[in-house]
Amino acid sequence: MANASFNNPKRLLRVPSPVAHAAFQKALVISALLLVIVVLAIMLSLAIHSFPSLKAFGFTFFFSKTWDPVSGRFGALVFLIGTLLTSFLALLICLPFSLAIGIFIGEYHREGIVSSFLKQVTELLAGIPSVIYGFWGLFVFVPVVRNLEMKLGVLPYGVGIFAASVILSVMVVPYAASIGREVISMVPSDIKEAGYALGATRQEVVTKIILPYARSGILAGILLALGRALGETMAVTMVIGNANIIPRSIFSPGNTMASVIANEFTEATGELYLSSLIQVGLLLFLVAVGINILGRYIIKKVSIEA
């Protein structure tokens, strides 16, 4: 019964009617547009709801480091700095590791047990819920950082920018690595062979041919990882220390935009307080969009026309 259409050549060869064709096309357009509309609607509603705070503080909201719910004075500078600092630091830490994984699986060991095992494990990292990273960070990693801080002679909080960045870097490795691996494995073999023919060693082929060829794809992976790091909430809030101060060193506690929203939204009373939190959300949204646009521009600049 299920195979009826295959037994009936007439049905198989039937040309779709113009009506069905048009309906199909319409459905495609509608679903594509719907997504765009949702994104715009999110931005619009964030903007509308942050209007009271925008009216009260104007642009000082972005430069003020005071966040005082009691007296109703709000500024987002501390959170902006915290978010950017942890995200870029995480990216810096994850870069060598994700690149190494990408080259290892994409070039050196394309097949076999080792590579498929490594691939599975990196992908598993992406599937672990962030609260688990947070718990692991708080109970296992933070004491390690504390020992390190005691040896360095800084105030041994354990939690702080450094702990948050390291946890974040582990979380974003799979994003950067999987795209890196994909583009590295797609580097055409004729140009690699050309390299070998000229007497290049394998290492030279990797650094002088494969990496330059794949750099736009590698950058795209990094951009994806950065987007993930910017918005990460749960794991960061558990290990960053949630102190509303501008961090003086990487071992200092801090706070991020996503984590202040998650922490204070449920109990935020009063229009201005709620609206300021929403404006922090709007800022986070704009930062993510801005970095994305900048990233695409850079990718375009460095990409090699194939």
Partner 1 sequence: MRKLVLISFVLALLVLPAPPGAGGMELLGAGATFPYPLYSKMFYSYWKETGTKVNYQPIGSGGGIRQLINRTVDFGGSDAFMSDEALSKSPATILHIPICIGAVVLTYNLPGKPGLRFTPNLVADIFLGKIKRWNDQSIEEINPGIRLPEIDIMVIRRSDGSGTTFVFTDYLTRVSKEWDTKVGRGKAVNWPIGLGAKGNPGVTGLIRHLPGTVGYTELGYALLNGLPVARLLNKYGEFIKPSTASTSKAAAIPLPMDTRVSLTNSDTPEGYPISSFTWILVYREQAYGKRPLQKAVELAKLLWWMTHEAQRYTEPLHYGTLPQEASERAEKIITSITYDGERVFQ
Q: Give me the least distance between CB of 251 and partner 1, in Å please.
A: 12
Nearer CB in complex with partner 1: 47/234? 234
Residue 64 sits in the site that holds partner 1 (CB under 8 A): no
Distance CA 87, CA 93 (A): 10
Letters for 21-40 (x = contact with partner 1 by CB under 8 A, - = none) are --------------------
Nearest to 292 by CA among 227, 237, 231: 227
Residue 1 sits in the site that holds partner 1 (CB under 8 A): yes
- Please give the structure tokens belonging to residue 96: 């060598």
Q: Are 184 and 103 in contact (CB under 8 A)?
A: yes
Rg (CA), the chain: 25
- Please give the structure tokens belonging to residue 46: 């964030």
Residue 237 sits in the site that holds partner 1 (CB under 8 A): yes
Candidates 38-46, 61-69, 161-169, 288-296: pick the segment binding partner 1 (CB under 8 A). Answer: 61-69
Which of 82, 221, 253, 281 touches partner 1 (CB under 8 A)?
253
Distance CA 147, CA 255 (A): 22
Nearest to 230 by CA among 281, 164, 284, 167: 284
Which of 64, 185, 263, 303 touches partner 1 (CB under 8 A)?
263
Given the structure tokens 């009373």, which residue do they identify?
269
- Please give the structure tokens belonging to residue 21: 């064709």
Nearer CB in complex with partner 1: 51/139? 139
Beta partners for residue 73, in sequence order: 68
Which of 7, 189, 203, 269 touches partner 1 (CB under 8 A)?
269
Nearest to 169 by CA among 103, 105, 96: 96
Beta partners for residue 80, in sequence order: none
Residue 261 sits in the site that holds partner 1 (CB under 8 A): no
Residue 146 sits in the site that holds partner 1 (CB under 8 A): yes
Distance CA 240, CA 291 (A): 23
Given the structure tokens 């995480």, which residue do they identify?
90
Candidates 17-25, 51-59, 68-76, 199-207: pick the segment binding partner 1 (CB under 8 A). Answer: 68-76
Nearer CB in complex with partner 1: 75/106? 75
Residue 82 sits in the site that holds partner 1 (CB under 8 A): no
Binders of partner 1 among residues 148 to 207 (CB under 8 A) are 155-159
Residue 141 sits in the site that holds partner 1 (CB under 8 A): no
Q: Are 257 and 80 in contact (CB under 8 A)?
A: yes
Which of 3, 17, 31, 71 touches partner 1 (CB under 8 A)?
71
- Please give the structure tokens belonging to residue 98: 């994700």
Summarize as ranges the residues that interact with partner 1 (CB under 8 A). Answer: 1-2, 66-71, 138-139, 142-143, 146, 155-159, 237-238, 241-244, 253, 255, 259, 262-264, 266-269
